[in-house]
Structure 1
Amino acid sequence: MNKRIAVMDLGTNTFHLLITEGSIADHVVLEHEHIAVKLGEGGINKGTIQPEAFARGLSTMQQFKKLIDKHQVDHVRAIATSALRNAGNGHDFIQQVKGITGIHIEIIDGDTEAGLIYEGIKASGCLSANNTLIMDIGGGSVEFILGNNNGITWKQSFEIGAARLMDKFHQTDPIPQASIVDLNNYLDDNLEPLFQAAEHLKVNKLIGSSGAFETFTALIEKPKNPNFKLKDVRNYDFDYEYLTKVTDDIISSSHDERATNPAINPVRVDMIVVASLITRFVMRRLDIHDVAMSTYSLKEGVLAQELAN
């Protein structure tokens, strides 16, 4: 019998809702919502959810509940990541959501998050037998997974997400060269476990999980094809030179230039700068020239897990 499943990924910047019907081999998407809640706004490095963000989160969960009821969903999973697991008032938020909507939110640790992202990327069909680095740039954390279609070799979550880095390093726009140097030094210090894990593996490919990598894709494809739609894409292989130019342009751009670019999702207008810098840093540090994007991520990993049960 076909199950209707709702999966929510409650991130630092965006709350996602995915409702599907069907089996693991054949399912249809009934609803796919992205709401820019910006849960970490104003408090991401202070360990608290600010009142305005708290209210936006509650309102979004009420919207999601209406959609879940509308589709008569059989099973619901709501997963919370960096912002809620680190906020002092994260538990209050979870209790209020439960009281208002009846939805139970699970807080997962970074290691579990990385594992679910891997399952999502694997479900997209873009992994091979070759060693690959998967990177998921969230607002609160960044997950790195080394592995292939046979399994995970190494994984780790780092609390260096785009909202945190923007708060620390991107106070002036365009971002000054001195801030870029400071950011790169910070990444060099904080990502040492990744460099050690990759040292003895031949890693030739980087796969970026949704988010910023969707923006890079849109910035490359929309000028060539105004009818380009990300929803029609599951996986995308970048031309290295195009990706380098697009990220260069983002890093040197002003807020107004990014805000008026229709290829940039409004929620990413500012955080796309540090996301570009992280991407370029990792590509350069690990000498990777083969880069791809998958629109699948954590929520598709949770869905794959649910459909397999």
Structure 2
Amino acid sequence: MKLAIIDIGSNSVRLLLATYENNEWRYEPKQLWTTRLGQRNTDGTLRDESMEASYQAFTDIQKIANEYGADYCFGFATSAVREAANGLAFMERINTYCPMEWRILSGAEEAMYGFYGALGNQLEDGRHYTTIDIGGGSTELALGNKDGVYWSRSYPVGAVRLQSISDEGPQRVWEETRFLWDPMMIEGEFGEFIGIGGTLTTLAAIDLGLDHYDGTKVQGHKLSRETVEGIIMKLRYMSRDERIQVKGLPAGRADIIVAGAEILTSFMDSYEVPHVFVSDQDGMEAMARECESTHSNC
């Protein structure tokens, strides 16, 4: 079975092509289109420019999925779409560009899929883990073990949403988020904090100095609190032209990476987290596995 999984996020639309054969998964490198759905109109609706950029992405995705021979095409949308009054109409129009089944995820669902996608078989060790997913429009936390997620939160802070606040000064994101994080009650032996999503994978790629993004190198990369702060200090006072010369930093994320990294340091300080391990795998892989097991609904 071949699947095309599409993540319709606040900063970008991402595509995962996956094949399930002989009880094994083979994932192709994820592809990305920067669309900025999270930069909405003053009334909260999705902007025409962002929707048009997304429709072009879906046109490209349909061609790629057809060439791949995908049996099913499934899309899921997150905070930008679920918060917008015209989000449903936007999703309904997608099918004119790329026919697919789709869902708009709640914050709790987004956190849960990210948790299972990132951890997978690692949960078999019986320990408890926490995932943090810093997206363009929201940040999701999930805590659980092999028996399931028993605590999760979705916060309305993301790299796109807080970009303008971050631009005001080096303490502004901290001031905005320092009272945000809820107490986390861990109910057993704890493993690690796992970071997923574009902010975390980009920070890992920068730390690794990757000329070209390589998920196999990003997977499992350890980011300390000091390393993240160092990247923030390095990038904050660079121009955009200077930032896009930094290895590991794609142009589509150059203007929002500092805001995303500052959300991460706020989280790490609040929970006294010395480091996180980055996962290239996230909710897209979890969604692929769900579609394979219930393909009649996908």
One fold, TM greater than 0.5? yes
Is residue 288 of structure 2 the alignment partner of residue 292 of structure 1? no
SS at match of 1:261: coil
1:221-300 alignment, distance < 5 Å: 221-222=208-209, 229-233=213-217, 234-239=219-224, 241-300=226-285
Structure 1 pair 298/46, CA: closer, same or farther in 2 (3 Å)?
farther
Unaligned runs of 5+ residues in structure 2 are none
Shift of 1:132: 2.6
Shift of 1:79: 0.4
- 2:92 maps to 95
CA contact (8 A) 2:132 2:140 kept: yes
Is residue 154 of structure 2 the alignment partner of residue 170 of structure 1? no
Shift of 1:115: 0.9
Shift of 1:270: 1.5
Is residue 202 of structure 2 the alignment partner of residue 215 of structure 1? yes
Q: State the alpha-carbon separation in 2 of the partners of residues 153 and 251 from structure 1.
A: 37
Deviations 1:204-255 (A, max 9, x none): 7321103111122122212xxx667523233222355434422332345443
CA contact (8 A) 2:29 2:215 kept: no
Q: State the alpha-carbon separation in 2 of the partners of residues 130 and 220 from structure 1.
A: 28
Structure 1 pair 96/185, CA: closer, same or farther in 2 (3 Å)?
same
Is residue 135 of structure 2 the alignment partner of residue 138 of structure 1? yes
Is residue 178 of structure 2 the alignment partner of residue 188 of structure 1? yes
1:62-211 alignment, distance < 5 Å: 62-123=59-120, 125=122, 128-167=125-164, 169-172=165-168, 176-177=169-170, 180=171, 182-191=172-181, 194=182, 196-198=183-185, 205-211=192-198
Q: State the alpha-carbon separation in 2 of the partners of residues 300 and 24 from structure 1.
A: 17
CA contact (8 A) 1:126 1:294 kept: no
Q: State the alpha-carbon separation in 2 of the partners of residues 134 and 70 from structure 1.
A: 34
- 1:12 maps to 10
Q: State the alpha-carbon separation in 1 of the partners of residues 49 and 122 from structure 2.
A: 39
Shift of 1:202: 7.4
CA contact (8 A) 1:126 1:235 kept: no
RMSD: 2.6
Q: State the alpha-carbon separation in 1 of the partners of residues 243 and 123 from structure 2.
A: 30
Q: Which region of structure 1 is more displaced relative to structure 2, 158-167 or 55-64?
A: 158-167
Shift of 1:25: 4.2
TM-score (ref. length: structure 2)? 0.87
Percentage identity across aligned positions? 22
Shift of 1:119: 1.2
Amino acid at match of 1:213: L
